[in-house]
Copies of this chain bind each other. A is one copy, B any other.
Amino acid sequence: MSLTVPFKQVDVFTEVPFKGNPVAVINFLDTDESEVTQEQLQAIANWTNLSETTFLFKPSDERYDYKLRIFTPQIELPFAGHPTIGSCNAFLEFTKNTTATSLVQECKAGAISLTINEGLISFKAALFDFEGISDEVITGYEQSLGLKFIAAPALLRTGPNWVVALVNDAETCFNANPNFAMITEQSKQNEHSGVILAGPKKNATVRNSYEIRAFCPVDTIDEDPVCGSGSVALARYLQELYKFEETTKITISQGGRLGRDGHIEATIMKEADGNTSYHVAGHAITVVNGKITL
């Protein structure tokens, strides 16, 4: 009993095809969720071989615009950054919606608020803690990366458990040649997902423009090309370090060493109620458009 439904492979954090981070999006908006099994969804995500494959379903109630299920080749995730932005873009195209300025995504992590502004799609990150790490572990990561950090790294649980570490400048970050076996060892010992390495760009007048790289060899890939959750982690880390008092946009470049050219905008937002929230925005473009047969 074969089922054929709409399919898109979307490039995220770029406006130029093949320069961002891809996500495969499968449109089950007209398929009852009970018609497909967990095993089928996992098998599809294993087969696409992308870091994430997502499935759009009708939402469970009308507070949400759609329900998103997100799978890596191995497991289902409660939430992920670039798949959320890519899937929102696909949802708008699938439903021929050209006017929406805000949407609510239902996913295992809860309700995710999305805003759309001239093609730039933004999500508000869920709350997460800032946690220090020991000097011994910091030294281990410095040795793994073959360089010195300019401030104490911290652990940010933004979905993955990212260690954020800052180096002197963007070039140092770009040129880093990590020892992936050593990072794997450190990550395993400390239950970390990987390291977000960031270096400030020279021309930035305030501390708000960075080159970053995401090393996650303990997972399936050594380096993630363009990373939404890592950008949230960096924004939160910078807030702790520099105590920004006003809403601040952090512009991030990522992926150059992998032949990509990703652009991420992370915002440290000062809310009217005095709280601080974290947002990640990026563009997305559909590269493959067609149908998939199950």
Residues of A within 8 A of B (CB): 2, 7, 11, 17-18, 22, 43-44, 46-51, 181, 258-259, 285-294
Bound together, the chains give a CA A285 to CA B47 distance in angstroms of 13
Cβ-defined partner of A47 (8 Å) among B22, B181, B286, B294: B22
Q: How far in angstroms is the closest Cβ of chain B from A290? A: 2
Q: How far in angstroms is the closest Cβ of chain B from A27? A: 12
18 A-B residue pairings within 8 Å (CB atoms)? A2-B17, A7-B288, A7-B290, A11-B47, A18-B43, A18-B46, A18-B47, A22-B49, A46-B258, A46-B259, A47-B287, A49-B50, A49-B51, A285-B293, A286-B293, A288-B292, A289-B290, A289-B291
Given A18-B46, A259-B46, check contact A291 B288 (CB 8 Å). yes
Given A18-B46, A43-B18, A43-B259, check contact A290 B291 (CB 8 Å). yes
Given A22-B49, A43-B259, A47-B22, check contact A17 B294 (CB 8 Å). yes
Bound together, the chains give a CA A50 to CA B46 distance in angstroms of 11
Given A50-B49, A289-B291, A293-B287, check contact A44 B18 (CB 8 Å). yes
Q: Which residues of B contact A18 (CB under 8 A)?
A: 43-44, 46-47, 294
Q: Which residues of B contact A22 (CB under 8 A)?
A: 47-49
Q: How far in angstroms is the closest Cβ of chain B from A183? A: 14
Q: How far in angstroms is the closest Cβ of chain B from A250? A: 26
Give A49's nearest chain B residue, CB to CB: B49
Give A20's nearest chain B residue, CB to CB: B47
Not counting A17-B47, A18-B46, A46-B259, a sample of 20 additional A-B residue pairs whose C-beta atoms are within 8 angstroms of each other reads A7-B288, A17-B293, A17-B294, A18-B43, A22-B47, A22-B48, A22-B49, A43-B259, A46-B258, A47-B287, A49-B50, A181-B181, A285-B293, A286-B293, A287-B292, A288-B288, A288-B290, A289-B291, A289-B293, A290-B290
Q: How far in angstroms is the closest Cβ of chain B from A40? A: 8
Q: How far in angstroms is the closest Cβ of chain B from A151? A: 33
Bound together, the chains give a CA A291 to CA B50 distance in angstroms of 18
Bound together, the chains give a CA A288 to CA B259 distance in angstroms of 25
Bound together, the chains give a CA A259 to CA B286 distance in angstroms of 29
Bound together, the chains give a CA A54 to CA B285 distance in angstroms of 22
Q: Which residues of B contact A290 (CB under 8 A)?
A: 7, 288-291
Bound together, the chains give a CA A160 to CA B5 distance in angstroms of 37
